[in-house]
Each structure stands twice: as C-alpha cells, then as structure tokens.
Structure 1
Amino acid sequence: MRIVQLIDSLEAGGAERMAVNYANVLADEIEFSGLVATRKEGALLSQINPNVSYLFLNKKKQLDLIAVFRLRSFVLKNRVTHIHAHSTSFFLAFLLKLLCPTLLLIRHDHYGNNVFLENRPHFVLKLTKSFFKGVIAVNQKLKNWSEVKLKSRNVIYLPNFSVKAAQEKSHTFLKGTEGKRIVSLANLREQKNHFFLLKVAQKLKESNPDWTFHLVGKDFDDEYAVQIKQLIKEYALENNVFMYGSKQDIGNILNQASIAILTSKSEGLPVSLLEYGLYKKAVVVTRVGEISAIVQNGKNGFIVDADREDLFYQSLVNLIENEILRTDFGTALYNTIQTDYTAESIIKKYLNWIQTS
C-alpha cells in the first residue's frame, strides 16, 4: 500500500497531530507513506519522520485548481493507492478522485463539537460520501452519526493514539514552584472551556495559592482568547495562571508538571489525554466524548461532569494533598494507554480494515 495523509494545516491540533502520527508510523509499515498539508504549515512540520514524503500545497481558496493538479502530480509520481483525508480536507480528496478514479479515499472524522452534533452541517459530506471507501471515526458517537445521518457504509471507530517524540529539544520552562504545577494542553477554543478552568483556579488560589496552572495551546487572537486574558486579570490570577501559546516540547512540559487537566465541554478523543497517560500524569478531566472510555473515576484519574466546578476543584485538592495517589493514578493511566491506545495496536487494526473492506 502507498498511503498519503491529507490535512489542512500543521498547527498543533488533535487532527493535525493524528495526521502526522499516522504518516510517521506507517513509514515503517508500508511501501510508501506521504503527508500533504493543503493550506498552512505549522509547528508540527518539525515532527515529520524523514522517511515520510512531504508536500505543501499552499492552497489559497476552496476551489484551487493549481493545488489540485499539484496534488495529482504528487500522487501519480509516487504511485499512491490511498488518500487518507483528515477533517475538512475530504473535499480536496473528492476533487482529486474525479481526476484519479482508481484512488481509494478514506475520510477521518475528528469532529469535536459533539454537544451540537445534531446541528452539524452535512450536505457536502452526504453529497460526496459515495466516493469514499470508508470512514474512520474517533469516537462511537461520530461512528453512529455517519451511519445514521449520512447512511455511510464501512465506518470504523479507531481511537486516537499518541507517540513520544524521538528527539525533542527542551525549550519551554514553566513558571511556578517545582512539584506544584498543573498543566492543561488545549488550544484556546471555546469547546475547551477555559472559563471553567479559571473558575476552578479562583477556588484553588484561596486554598492552595502556591499551586499554579499552566495553559499550553495555540492562541488564535480572537474574542475567546481576549476574554480568557481579561478574566485572568479580573480574577487576579496573574501569579497563578500562566499562558505559553503553542509548544512542541510536550514531553518536557509534562515532565515539569505534577497534575494534568482537561476542562472541555465537548470532545472527541483528545490526544492530550493520551499524552498525559504516556508521561504518567495524574489527571482530572471532564466527562465528555470518549474520555470516560479511558479514565475510570478513582482508579486511574478523576472524571467529573463538565458543569461541576466544585467536584473538579475538590478532585484537584485530593491529588494535591496525596502524592502517593498522584503516582498511582499516573501509573494506572499509563497502563491503560499501553493496553488499548498504542500506535502498534491501532495501526494493526487500521491496515487490516483497509485490506479486508
């Protein structure tokens, strides 16, 4: 097989990380593994395996014929058999299929706004569904949605997976006191619910002022980001909550933290949670998406409803006051990830699905 991953950008988001992960792992498993970024490059460019054939299309508009034909040339030159299109890049894959009818297309659905899934626009997805050999969903809810709403066939649920970077330069140094840092890996998007996080930080400032929160994720310079920064000032959290923007030395960052959190109100299967597990972090997370399939409350972390700031706060305090519990949770979460969410197990299922469906 000769497979190309198609993704709109290489910014540090969940879908983007998965496109890079698939390309990197497949480079050692199949004849040819490629990766094409359509609209924008980004920080993940540095994480692409040297054995992966990479192309940047620099696509300027929705219907960019120059980009389509550049992609066609890349596909023909490398005798590509499959295009694995992540998120919204599926439409470019559809256009390419019109020029290369023998290509087999896979659509990877990373849609994270599951709370409003019933309102998700789907006209174009339904219009193009017959051109795709199959659909990969990152959670069961998305799998059901494709089967029921789109009447798609050959839909498989494959959880996300994370891999440790082979070589990672340590360039991010977290503020605060060693042993008293709480990290959140989440881009500044509304579904990540940083407002919830700040309300919890307010409470923790009163009871445990020496513990600090460290927000790592892309700042889109939009109204949501502005509101976060305003609330940090309004709540007088300048010395308790620190923002770092998008970073790539995730292992280095997590090694500096004692607790890791997610406060999302909507999710698929967050790659950041898998990374927490890989680095044996004790976690407090919200019960959304597929998170509850990984975190078992009181066994390998704490999981609470997305509207319960009081329980989230109390769970943090429980971890803060019990170092042994933090260690036990971190080890248990690591074991969970190693059992069900490794690259090896997911890629094996992925290749078997492609070959047999």
Structure 2
Amino acid sequence: MRIVQIIDSLEIGGAERMAVNYANELSQKIEFSGLVATRGEGKLLNQVNENVSYLFLDKKSSFDLKAVFRLKHYIKKNKVEIIHAHSSSFFIAVLVKFIYPQIKIVWHDHFGPRIGQSKKENRALIFLSIFFTSIFVVNKQLKEWSEKYMNCKKVVFIPNFIQENQSVEQETVLKGTQGKRIVFLANLKNPKNHLIVLEAFFELKLFDLDWSLHLIGKDYFDLYSQNLKEFIKFNDLYDHVHLYGVRNDVKFILKQASVGILASTFEGFPVTLIEYGDAELGVISTNVGFCSEIIKNKETGLLFNPLNKQELLAQLKIITESETLRTNLSVNLKKSVVSNYQAAQVVEKIILEYSKIEK
C-alpha cells in the first residue's frame, strides 16, 4: 500500500496536524507513506517522522503547472496508488489526475462551517468531486452534507486521533498560579469565538480568585486580534490574560493547566478536545460539530451553546469552583480518549478503507 497525504501548508491547524499524524502513523504500517505540502511549510515540519517521504511543492498559484508536474513525477517515481487530499488540496490532486488518470483520490473534509454553506458556495468542489473515489469526513453533519451534494457516493466518517509516544518539547512556561490556569488552544480567528471567553472570564472576576487565562494559537494581527487586545487593555487584564502565539510544545503547555476551553461557533472534529483529554484537563466545550460526541455534558466535560454567554458563564463558574468536579471530569475524559481516539484504532480503520479503494 503506497499513500501520500497532501495539505496546503504545515502551519499549526487541525487539518494540518491530521495530515502529519496520518503520514507519521502510516509510515509504520504500510509500504510507502508520503507527505506533500503544496503552498507553505511551517512549524509542523518538525513533527514529520524521518521515515515519511516529504515533498514541498512551493505552489505559486492555483494553476501552477510546474507544481502539478512535480507532484505527478513524485507520485509516479514512488509508485503512489492513492492521494489522500486534505481540505482545499483536492484541487491540485484533481489536476494531477487529469495527467495521471490511474491515481485514486480520497478527499478529507475537516471544515466544520461547510454544513452552513450552500451548493452554490461550493460549486468547484462539488463539480470536481466526480474525480474522488472516496470522501472522508470528521463528523456526521459533514457526512450528511457530502451525501446530499457531492458527486461521490462513498462517504465515510473517520474520527481524528492523537499521536502516541510523541517526544514532548519543554519550552513554554505558563504564567499564573499552578492549579488555576485556563488554557484556550485555538488560532486567533473566526469562528473560534475568543471574545465570549474573555468577556466571561472578566464578568466572573476569576482573576480575583487567582485564575489566569492563556491563549495559545496563531495571531494574524488583524481586526479579530485587535479587538481581543483592546478588550484586554480596556479592562486592565494584562496580568491575567496571556497571549503566546503559535507554540510547538502543546503537550507541555497543557500539563501546566487545569481547565481547557473551546468556544467555536463552528467545528469539524477538534483535535484540541482530545488533546485536552489526554492532558487530563477539566474541559468546557462548545456543543457544535462533533464536540458533543467527544464531551458528554457533566460526564466528560461541560457543554455550552457558543452563542449563549449565560451558559458559558454558568459552566465556567461551576468548573472553576470545584476541584473535585474538575478531577472527575478529567479522569472520565482521559478514559474516553484512550478508548476511542488513539492512533491504533483510527489508523486500522483508515487502512481498511484504503484497501477497499485498491480493490
């Protein structure tokens, strides 16, 4: 079995992390596992295993024919049988298929907001889906969307997973008091909904109880980011809310926190939640996408409607007031992550799906 994962960049993000995870895990299980970044590299490059065949295309435009032919040459040279294209990288995969028809394409949809989009907004994707052999999706709503609109009838739900036995870098030391740190792992952009968390943190006056809030994720230095920083400045939260930007040592960071929060208005399958669970954090999560499947309210975490600040206020108050509750939730979530979202189970399923395509 000879498979290549294709992704636009190796910047830190959910789809990007999963492309790397798949390439790494498959490299131990199949004959050839490759990874191609089309437009940009990034911090995730450091997490690519040495036995993964890696190529950076440095694609300059959507119709960069030089990049298309380089990819075709790589695929032919390495006798690749299946392209596993993540998110928007489906386009270059289809262009390669035009000139190398025997290649099979699996498209992997990680984009939670798609369920709110129309057929018109996805015209190119839907038209080109006739060239897909299979579609993998990260939640049931995306499965229903693809089954309704796409020109590929083989649609399979594949949960995300976390890699096992990763080396843990230890670089970022969080500020604040041990046992009273809330971490929010998400790039600073829509639909991650950071402002509602800042407002809830401020309105509950959690800083008076020595709690601190730590935002980990890429800062795009745009209006979204500016609004967050203005809120922090206006409410004099500099000593209590900390922004760290993109970090490689996420496991080490999470081990320093007690509570993990996710507030997105749309999600696919957030790897963040299983990372929180693996780190044994008490979790407060939005109820969108696959989140309510990972987090069972009052069993493995606390859920809230991301458009309802009163729900977030109530759940944040509950989880910060009770160390016993945090411990119970974190233990239950850890068990669930170990049982359902470890690499071994998911990779076994994906290899089975690949084998069906080869036949």
Render the CA deviation track for 1:197-229: whole Å, top value 9, x for unaligned: 111111232674410100000111221111111
Describe the shift of the 1:302–1:208 C-alpha distance in structure 2 as closer, same or farther (beyond 3 A).
farther
- Match of 1:81? 81
Describe the shift of the 1:173–1:50 C-alpha distance in structure 2 as closer, same or farther (beyond 3 A).
same
Q: Are 1:83 and 1:105, in contact at CA under 8 Å, matched by a contact in 2?
A: yes
**SS where residue 15 of structure 1 aligns?**
helix
Render the CA deviation track for 1:54-80: whole Å, top value 9, x for unaligned: 010111111101111111111111111
Higher alpha-carbon deviation: 299-308 or 27-36 = 299-308
**SS where residue 144 of structure 1 aligns?**
helix
Render the CA deviation track for 1:25-83: whole Å, top value 9, x for unaligned: 00011000000000000010000011100010111111101111111111111111110
Query: Is 1:125 the equivalent of 2:125?
Result: yes
State how 1:1-357 maps to structure 2 within 5 Å.
Answer: 1-114=1-114, 116-118=116-118, 121-164=121-164, 166-205=166-205, 208-357=208-357
Q: Are 2:11 and 2:44, in contact at CA under 8 Å, matched by a contact in 1?
A: yes
Q: Which runs of 5+ in 1 are unaligned?
A: none
Q: Are 1:4 and 1:83, in contact at CA under 8 Å, matched by a contact in 2?
A: yes
2:37 partner amino acid: A
Q: Are 1:278 and 1:334, in contact at CA under 8 Å, matched by a contact in 2?
A: yes
Post-superposition offset of 1:310: 2.4
Post-superposition offset of 1:316: 2.2
Q: Are 1:85 and 1:93, in contact at CA under 8 Å, matched by a contact in 2?
A: yes
**SS where residue 191 of structure 1 aligns?**
coil
Higher alpha-carbon deviation: 5-14 or 156-165 = 156-165
1:142 partner amino acid: L
2:264 partner amino acid: S
CA distance in 2, matches of 1:157, 1:120: 24
TM-score by length of 2: 0.96
Describe the shift of the 1:319–1:266 C-alpha distance in structure 2 as closer, same or farther (beyond 3 A).
same
Q: CA RMSD in A?
A: 1.5
Post-superposition offset of 1:116: 2.7
Instruction: Give the paired residue count.
Output: 357
Post-superposition offset of 1:345: 1.1
**SS where residue 38 of structure 2 aligns?**
strand
Describe the shift of the 1:235–1:342 C-alpha distance in structure 2 as closer, same or farther (beyond 3 A).
same
**SS where residue 190 of structure 1 aligns?**
coil
CA distance in 2, matches of 1:294, 1:40: 31
Q: Are 2:258 and 2:281, in contact at CA under 8 Å, matched by a contact in 1?
A: yes
Q: Are 2:159 and 2:269, in contact at CA under 8 Å, matched by a contact in 1?
A: yes
Structure 1 moving runs of 4+ over 6 Å:
none
Post-superposition offset of 1:231: 1.4
Higher alpha-carbon deviation: 242-251 or 225-234 = 225-234
**SS where residue 107 of structure 1 aligns?**
strand
Q: What is the aligned-residue identity percentage? A: 45
**SS where residue 112 of structure 2 aligns?**
coil
Q: Are 1:164 and 1:251, in contact at CA under 8 Å, matched by a contact in 2?
A: no
Post-superposition offset of 1:320: 2.0
Q: Are 2:186 and 2:216, in contact at CA under 8 Å, matched by a contact in 1?
A: yes
